[in-house]
Amino acid sequence: MIAHRKNAGFSMIEVLITIVILMIGLLGLAGLQTKALTAQMEAYQRSQALILLKDMVDRISANRKNALSYVTELNPAASCPAAGATVASVDLNEWCNALLGAAEVQDTAKVGAMIGARGCITQTVAPASGVPSQYLVAVAWQGLNSTAIPAITCGQNQYGNEALRRVVALPVTIADLL
């Protein structure tokens, strides 16, 4: 009579199936890591944009009498306005440099801002008797993933695909100054 022994171990097929399952899991983790890095960069850019937005709103509020002097659309990639003798021109120059990322420098590269940052200040309501003037301060930049197209026109048609354009904005109301 011939005695049969039980297999005591893994077959080559079982080992290969286990490796395939592990590879699929590791590829999923790599994809998740990529998405997390993209989301982190988007969040960093949005936080930088909000800081710069609030900075300009505070500057306009501090120089209320000359709020109309701030109305502009800045494209730091083209050029920043020169800092002149007025507070508004100095503020716009400093804001433009901040949009370029001058607050954080690595070697000689300015890296402290968003991709392709632009700043826009528009007057939405002109002052009238008893009606305060209103301004809209906006910061636009290029995102990394497509989203809904913003309704605010700051930076419009500047990033190729409008679904990559990001915009944050805050209104500023200036009461009649007597």
Other CB atoms within a 10 A radius of the CB of residue 85 amount to: 6
The reported pTM is: 0.80
**Regarding predicted confidence, which is higher, 6 or 145?**
145
Query: Bridge partners of 171?
Result: 136
Helix orientation angle between 12-62 and 87-100, rounded to the nearest 10 degrees: 170
Contacts (Cβ under 8 Å, ≥6 apart) of 64: 174, 177
- pLDDT at position 12, please? 87
Give the sign of the dihedral formed by CA 42, CA 44, CA 47, CA 51: negative
Q: Answer yes or no: is pLDDT of 178 > 60.
A: no
Q: Return the structure tokens found at 90.
A: 């100095």
- pLDDT single digits (tens) 94-131: 999 999 887 676 777 767 788 999 999 999 998 877 78
**Best CA proximity match to 65, nearest among 85, 82, 88, 91:** 88
For 11-74, the DSSP string reads -HHHHHHHHHHHHHHHHHHHHHHHHHHHHHHHHHHHHHHHHHHHHHHHHHHHTGGGGGGG-EEE
- pLDDT single digits (tens) 36-89: 999 999 999 999 999 999 999 999 999 999 999 999 988 887 788 888 889 999
- pLDDT at position 126, please? 87
